[in-house]
Amino acid sequence: MLKPVKKYLFPATALLIFLVNNTEAQQNYQLQPIPVQSRWAADVNPENALKEYPRPQMVRKDWQNLNGLWEYAITADDNAKPSAFDGQILVPYPLESALSGVKKGLKPEQRLWYKKTIAIPAANGERTLLHFGAVDWQTKVYLNGKEVGGHTGGYTAFTIDITDAVKPGDNILLVKVYDPSDQGVGPHGKQVLNPADIYYTPSSGIWQTVWLERVPKDYITGLRITPDIDKGVLHLTVNAPAGYTVEATALTNGTETGTIKGASGAVLQLPVKNAQLWSPGNPFLYDLSVRLLKGRKVVDEVKSYFGMRKISIGKDDKGVDRIFLNNAAYFNLGTLDQGFWPDGLYTAPTDEALSFDIRAIKAMGFNTIRKHIKVESARWYYWADKLGMLVWQDMVNPNQGLPEGAKAAFEQQCKETLAQLHNSPCITTWVLFNEKWGRFDQQRLTEWIKHTDPSRLVNGHSGEYLYVNGKLRSPSPNAYVSADMTDIHSYPDPMNALQLPGKARVLGEFGGIGVFIPDHQWNTSSAWGYIMEKPAGLKAKYTIMNQHLQLLQKEGLSASIYTQPFDVEGEQNGLITYDREVVKIPFTEIRKIHAPLNPDMGEMPAIIAKDADLTEPGTIYSALLQQYIDGRRDAPFLKKLAMMATQVGDKAGTTRIGGEYIALMKQPYSAEDLGYVMQVTNSTKDNGFPIITNNIEAVDNAMGARQAETKMMNIIYQDQISPFVSDDSTNPDWEAIHTSIKPYGAPGEEIFLRAKTIYLLNKQDKAGFKSVAKEYLDKYGQFVKPEEKKILEAYMN
């Protein structure tokens, strides 16, 4: 049974030692339109944007939240500061998000600038620290025109001592951000400039809380907390200047349970007698008070918390290697949480929303979250600690192509991640690589993580063996070297991992059953999943998968990670919709399915979400189609109907109804409008084709570089060129083809020259090939892949 945990106390609002210019907040702020939004988005405004204390494991009284409206500008390159600003942005929501109030993309060559005016009173010998929870990707910070610091890496916090740059009165804070997303060398996770399928919209710039803190001249810079339940102590290191004494006290409900004094920087052993052990079924947290002393004088003081728990590999009563929690075998029943939101992207709209995800996952009966290819804010781990959830923490993958600099950037990000998250009892497992995405030096890095943090398990490579429909994608010799577990991914149905001595066997990913829920979709023309199922069929399919997990558990399986708890953009294989409104299997029923593998799930947290409508989608579509037949033609209805036509497989309906909807669109077209047009336009005769041809720049700004041109070329080739070059027994009339594609401008010429070049290459017509290929490469060679360019140039010579 889930026991109540004492509420950890920290300031709900800042002690106002700093004055922030809030005149900007009087300006109009507006949430930008998106296909779906969560219930919390409507509550967000410039006055309340994530005002909670951002660092729950090291709390001080004197701090000021800088979230709210800032000025922003986007410059073309790295050469100069902006002469003027483009408007206002709501920090800490990323540039591309609806909640930022901007919802613009950032091109790889561009720079994003932020500006904020702050009044900072005299310090009286104290220091002023500026904290950033996370900024993606490379940051430079200026105060009053002076560069005061910076950071590279989009997922970890950094702090700048700005004391020496502060002046009396108003201070101008300027932040410059470079974020090339998947085009750069830094770890970027699932963020890509052209999102599709299992990759999503980027989150550029500031995406976690920015805050100021006043500290003494000498102060506590950090804590390192490691529980040891076997010895009944907490290993504690207090980072502070040499020559000071530290005093640490553990408390339960305000009552002292242990205390220790020692030197700053030393490893202290704080006694925790008869410890209450932390687990998902009983997430008991001790309060921790740490003071920095000079003699008897208290120089600095912080509040924290900790949980007493142990994670290890052990043998069960049958001699099978399994994951142990607190010295007992414990099946990790998990799900793959990616941490994306329709309105905030990487940033949850509110703290309540942030905790909702963990509560919802717990309500479904899971005891483990694999935090997939993302590092969350400190408050997310606080909620996992408090609510009781094991966490497998992925390292954010490097650029998969491993360009120069990518390896060093990845290792630095890993180093910062290990240090930043060390104190969270919820984290039990580090996951180094995923499905061969940019892997390198796997043995060395696995052993480095184990040496850096011997208190946790290390999964050196989740899904190095990847099975789809029972077939192995590619072999991997020595896949589990130095790791604590063997891990496979199997889609859609579960499998067991290889048995190796001393290693637990885990199923790092499986499932991915796609179920679309009308009116709750981000991308209504796509419902990506490893397999598609109707709402009424999901429960039975999911039940069978979990019954197989029970069989595998008896055969030695220690953990399973289901993909996934929530839909994410084009992926509609979540158990709950992207807006967090509809659960596809009722909570009470999915808990029963999970109970055999998680008998200690306790009481269900209070969660509000609607059960899915199990009516056959074709029946719903048919009823709406009859309204269309009877004359209904309003634009929102046509859009919804066209999307449903696609999803139920009515191609004729998609073409007819989608064409009518497009005909009703009016300029200026929104990004969503252009995205829809791109998705449903497949012919030069479609209503959407002239919209693409007349709005190339707007489409590329919304969808990514050359997306409009590529779409046009594919359609032009299909309609105007392919019918005349597919018959090898005839010679194409290239002059006639050229005439037919002239109205399509540069994309038409590019695809004409490409088609003719490839045709002549395949025909081995070297005489005709050379001049055409030269013209093609001279005009459009910059868009040709290097390996393909080499082939063309070689044949020319």
- Show the DSSP H helices in 704-796 as ranges: 707-716, 722-725, 734-741, 745-762, 766-780, 786-796
Say whether both 396 and 439 belong to one domain: yes
Nearest of 245, 243, 244, 248 to residue 258 by alpha carbon: 248
Q: Which of 644, 648, 647, 643 is CA-nearest to residue 662?
A: 643
Three-state DSSP at 53 gives: coil
**Residue written as tokens 């009481």?**
603
Give SS3 for 323.
Answer: strand
Answer yes or no: is 164 within a domain.
Answer: yes
Which residues partner with 290 through β-bridges?
Answer: 248, 302
Whole-number pLDDT of residue 164: 94
155 and 271 co-located in one domain: no
Which positions ≥6 away from 770 have C-beta within 8 Å?
Answer: 796
Side-chain-side CA neighbours of residue 103 (13 Å): 17
Q: Parallel, antiparallel, or unpaired: how do β-strands 390-394 and 427-434 relate?
A: parallel
Residue after which a domain boundary falls, among 589, 605, 621: 605
Query: Which residues, other chains included, contact 618 with Cβ-Cβ below 8 Å and sequence gap of 6+?
Result: 648
Neighbours of 333 (CB within 10 A): 25
The answer to whether 324 and 548 have CB atoms below 8 angstroms apart is no
The residue out of 581, 605, 629 marking a domain boundary is 605
CB 425 within 8 A of CB 307: yes
Choose the final residue of a domain: 249, 275, 306: 306
For residue 537 the two structure tokens come to 């069929």
Q: Determine whether 736 is exposed, middle or buried from the number of CB atoms within 10 Å of its CB (0-12, 13-18, 19+).
A: exposed
Q: Which of helix, strand or coil describes residue 416?
A: helix
Please provide residue 693's backbone torsions phi and psi, each rounded to the nearest 5 degrees: -65, -30
Alpha-helix runs per DSSP H in 606-706: 617-629, 635-648, 651-664, 671-680, 688-694, 696-703
CATH number, position 260: 2.60.40.10
What pLDDT is stored for residue 109 in this prediction? 93
Which 3 state secondary structure label does DSSP give 610?
strand
Residues 333 and 238 in one domain: no
Q: How many CB atoms lie within 10 A of CB 778?
A: 9
Position 649 in a domain:
no
* DSSP character at residue 612: P
pLDDT at 122: 80
Domain membership of residue 254 (yes or no) is: yes
Same domain, 453 and 561: yes
Structure tokens at 247: 């005093």
Task: Tell me how far apart the alpha carbons of residues 234 and 455 are, in angstroms, rounded to a whole number.
Answer: 12
Q: Are 213 and 242 in a shared domain?
A: no
pLDDT at residue 525, as a whole number: 65
Instruction: Look up tokens 């392919």; give the residue.
Output: 722
The range of the structural domain enclosing residue 101 comes to 7-217+326-605
Max CA pair span of the chain: 97
- Say if residues 664 and 638 touch (Cβ distance below 8 Å): yes
695, part of any domain? yes
Say which residues have a Cβ less than 8 Å from residue 138's Cβ, sequence separation at least 6: 150, 151, 152, 177, 178, 179, 186
**pTM exceeds 0.95:** no
Q: Are residues 228 and 202 in the same domain?
A: no
Nearest CA to 675 among 344, 195, 346, 204?
195
Which residues are CB-contacts of 37 (< 8 A; sequence separation ≥ 6)?
A: 31, 98, 342, 343, 579
The series of mean pLDDT values per 10 residues for the chain, 797 residues long, is 33 42 61 94 96 97 96 89 94 98 94 96 90 98 97 98 94 97 95 90 98 97 98 98 97 95 97 97 98 95 98 97 98 98 98 98 98 98 99 96 96 98 99 95 97 98 93 89 97 96 98 92 75 92 98 98 96 96 98 97 91 92 96 92 87 91 90 86 93 93 87 96 87 94 95 95 91 95 91 91
- Check whether residue 474 and residue 514 sit in a common domain: yes
Tokens of 647: 């999803």
In a domain, 271, yes or no: yes
> How would you label 198-211 residue by residue, b for 16+ Cβ within 10 Å and e otherwise?
bbbbbbbbbbbbbb
> Distance between CA 702 and CA 670 in Å, rounded?
9
Same domain, 248 and 164: no
Domain contains 520: yes
613 in a structural domain? no
Domain assignment present for residue 629? The answer is no
CA–CA separation, 261 and 78 (whole Å) = 50
Residue corresponding to tokens 């242990």: 258
Domain count, the chain: 3
Q: 330 in the Ramachandran plot: left (φ > 0), alpha (ψ -120 to 50) or beta?
A: beta
Strand 531-532 and strand 504-511: the pairing is unpaired
H or E element at residue 228? strand 222-228
DSSP secondary structure letter of residue 412? H
Long-range contacts of 610-616 (CB under 8 A, 24+ apart): 610/581, 610/582, 610/583, 611/582, 611/583, 611/586, 612/515, 612/517, 612/535, 612/538, 612/582, 612/583, 612/584, 612/585, 613/517, 613/535, 614/535, 614/536, 615/535, 615/536, 616/534, 616/536
Residues 239 and 194 in one domain: no
Residues 566, 491, single domain; the answer is yes
438 and 535 belong to one structural domain? yes
Tell me: cis bond preceding 448? Omega within 30 of 0 counts: no
Whether residues 458 and 544 share a domain: the answer is yes
Q: Residue 7's pLDDT is what?
A: 35
Residue with tokens 């497998």: 392
Token digits of residue 260: 């220790």
Cβ burial of 321 (10 Å; 0-12, 13-18, 19+) is buried
Nearest Cα to Cα of residue 35 among 424, 342, 346, 417: 342
